């Protein structure tokens, strides 16, 4: 292992690069399986206020993942208002040998969340509970996500869509 | 030792550690989906675990010390979990008297677990684990705290294998063969 032919600064740099490359290989391999997303990325939650007493909750379910319809729940915390009768959209029906008829969601799920009282002009926190699985053969425990919404005053238009976990900016797109 | 030799030794040591890590984790990754390395402390934590069965009676996992212990984290609401359990029951029946012991830790409600245990005639203990049990599985490499997650302990209580997702029958068979 002779490096006598290289001038000193270059040699030091080469050694450093070698060590870094080796470390990079090790660390790179140690990263978690990129095929399995954390629940907040597999089931991206976002919401907006449609008017002073109606919210709209959305789940963007990644390809290869699904949510259970009967495990979905919404409430405000702190409880600025009760969630009124909720009508969840119909899901895809699967016959489960243990639970019988089970409905699941894939792709984009949009749920209207009516409130029992007006929250116009207030800042509220909408909490969404959901539970889903990956086709790869794993299920996630019930998962809670939250968004803070500035609800427009009565008579004003819908508020902007707010992501619970904003997508990270990527370098190349 | 000259400065240069010292420096190269350092580089070599770092490289070997990093490579070993890469190979080790690379192998782990060969069994999809991948989980991280098992911690000896977590293995000890599993042995010291005491969880209630569906009747509320506390069961210590060290009562099976000396056996090959397969600890399976599951739930009734987890379809892939339920899919693999018949295989576990078969293995328990075939190798139980040779020192193989399955234990299911259900991240679930006791009544649902009891109902399911009765329905399928589960032939190994099902214990009720809460969030703490999932946290424990996290220290064993189940970073996403997803299910099913299975930890195989050898007769000395060391972690021999971890699997996130369904443990394939052929993998289970080879583990049993090498550990029993």
- State ipTM: 0.73
Interface contact B13, partner A, CB < 8 A:
no
Report the alpha-carbon distance of residue B68 to residue B6 in Å, rounded. 45
Report the alpha-carbon distance of residue B171 to residue B180 in Å, rounded. 14
CB contact under 8 A, B165 and A138: yes
Could you say which of B8, B19, B78 has the minimum Cβ distance to residue A22? Answer: B19
State the first-to-last Cα distance of chain A, in angstroms, to the nearest integer. Answer: 43
Q: How far is CA A101 from CA A70, A133, B148, B159, in A?
A: 11, 17, 22, 38
Is residue A59 very low, low, confident or very high in pLDDT (cuts 50, 70, 90)?
Answer: very high
Which DSSP state fits B49?
A: -
3-state secondary structure A72-130: CEEEECCCCCCECCCCCCCCEEEEECCCEEEEEECCEEEEEEEECCCCCCCEEEEEEEE
Mean pLDDT throughout A89-112?
A: 93
Model pLDDT, residue B57:
95
CB contacts under 8 A, B 88-127 vs A, are: 107, 116, 119
Model pLDDT, residue B9:
64
Mean pLDDT throughout A89-99?
A: 89
CB contact under 8 A, B33 and A138: yes
Report the alpha-carbon distance of residue A86 to residue B166 in Å, rounded. 35
The domain ranges of chain A are 39-156
In 3-state terms, what secondary structure has residue B43? helix
pLDDT of A20 higher than 70: no
In 3-state terms, what secondary structure has residue B56? coil
Lookup: tokens for A5: 């032919």
Model pLDDT, residue B2:
58
The pTM is what?
0.74
Kind and range of the H or E element at A27? Answer: helix A8-30
CB contact under 8 A, A33 and B22: no
CB contact under 8 A, B164 and A32: no
Higher pLDDT, A70 or A19: A70
Lookup: tokens for B97: 């008297």
Mean pLDDT throughout A2-25?
A: 49
Which DSSP state fits A64?
A: T
Q: What are phi and psi of B19, to 5 degrees?
A: -65, -45
Interface contact B132, partner A, CB < 8 A:
no
**Chain B: residue whose CA lies nearest to A141:** B146
Higher pLDDT, A171 or B42: B42
Model pLDDT, residue B3:
59
Lookup: tokens for A137: 């053969």
Q: Does domain A39-156 have CATH number 2.60.40.1250?
A: yes
Could you say which of A18, A32, A141 has the minimum Cβ distance to residue B143? Answer: A32
Model pLDDT, residue A109:
97
Interface contact B32, partner A, CB < 8 A:
yes
Model pLDDT, residue B23:
45
Mean pLDDT throughout A38-63?
A: 96
Which residues contact residue B48 at a Cβ distance below 8 angstroms, ignoring those fewer than 6 apart? B60, B61, B62
Return the closest-CA partner of residue A111 out of A151, A77, A71.
A71
Model pLDDT, residue A97:
79
Lookup: tokens for A129: 């509970």
Which residues contact residue B158 at a Cβ distance below 8 angstroms, ignoring those fewer than 6 apart? B40, B43
Tokens 């030091």 locate to A12
Lookup: tokens for A17: 């690069």
Return the closest-CA partner of residue A125 out of A145, A143, A141.
A145
- Residues (pLDDT < 50) of chain B are 21-36
pLDDT in tens, A108-166: 999 999 999 999 999 999 999 999 999 999 999 999 999 999 999 988 889 999 999 88
């Amino acid at each position: 292992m002779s490096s006598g032919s290289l001038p000193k600064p270059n040699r030091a740099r080469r050694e450093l690069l070698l060590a870094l490359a080796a470390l990079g290989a090790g660390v790179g391999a140690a990263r978690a399986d990129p095929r399995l997303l954390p629940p907040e990325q597999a089931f991206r939650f976002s919401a907006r206020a449609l008017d002073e007493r109606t919210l709209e909750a959305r789940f963007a379910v990644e390809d290869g993942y699904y949510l259970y319809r009967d495990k979905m729940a919404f409430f405000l915390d702190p409880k600025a208002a009760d969630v009124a009768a909720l009508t969840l959209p119909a899901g895809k029906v699967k016959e489960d040998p243990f639970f019988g008829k089970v409905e699941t969601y894939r792709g984009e799920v949009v749920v209207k969340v009516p409130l029992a009282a007006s929250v116009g002009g207030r800042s509220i926190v909408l909490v969404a509970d959901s539970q889903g699985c990956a086709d790869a053969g794993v299920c996630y425990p019930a998962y809670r996500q939250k968004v803070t919404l500035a609800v427009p005053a009565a008579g004003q238009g819908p508020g902007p869509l707010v992501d619970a976990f904003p997508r990270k900016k990527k370098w190349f797109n | 030792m000259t400065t240069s030799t010292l420096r190269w030794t350092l580089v070599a040591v770092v490289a070997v550690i990093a490579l070993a890590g890469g190979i080790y984790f690379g192998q782990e990754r060969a069994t999809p989906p991948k989980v991280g390395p098992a911690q000896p402390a977590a293995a000890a934590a599993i042995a010291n675990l005491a969880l209630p069965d569906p009747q509320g009676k506390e069961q210590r996992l060290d009562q099976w010390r000396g056996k090959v212990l397969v600890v399976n984290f599951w739930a009734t609401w987890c379809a892939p979990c339920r899919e693999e359990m018949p295989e576990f029951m078969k293995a328990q029946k075939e190798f139980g008297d040779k020192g193989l012991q399955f234990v299911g830790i259900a991240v679930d409600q006791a009544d649902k677990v009891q109902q399911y245990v009765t329905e399928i005639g589960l032939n190994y203990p099902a214990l009720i684990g809460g969030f703490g049990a999932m946290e424990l599985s996290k220290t064993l490499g189940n970073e996403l705290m997803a299910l099913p997650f299975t930890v195989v302990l050898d007769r000395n209580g060391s972690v021999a294998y971890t699997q996130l997702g369904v443990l394939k029958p052929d993998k289970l068979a080879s583990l049993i063969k090498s550990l029993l």
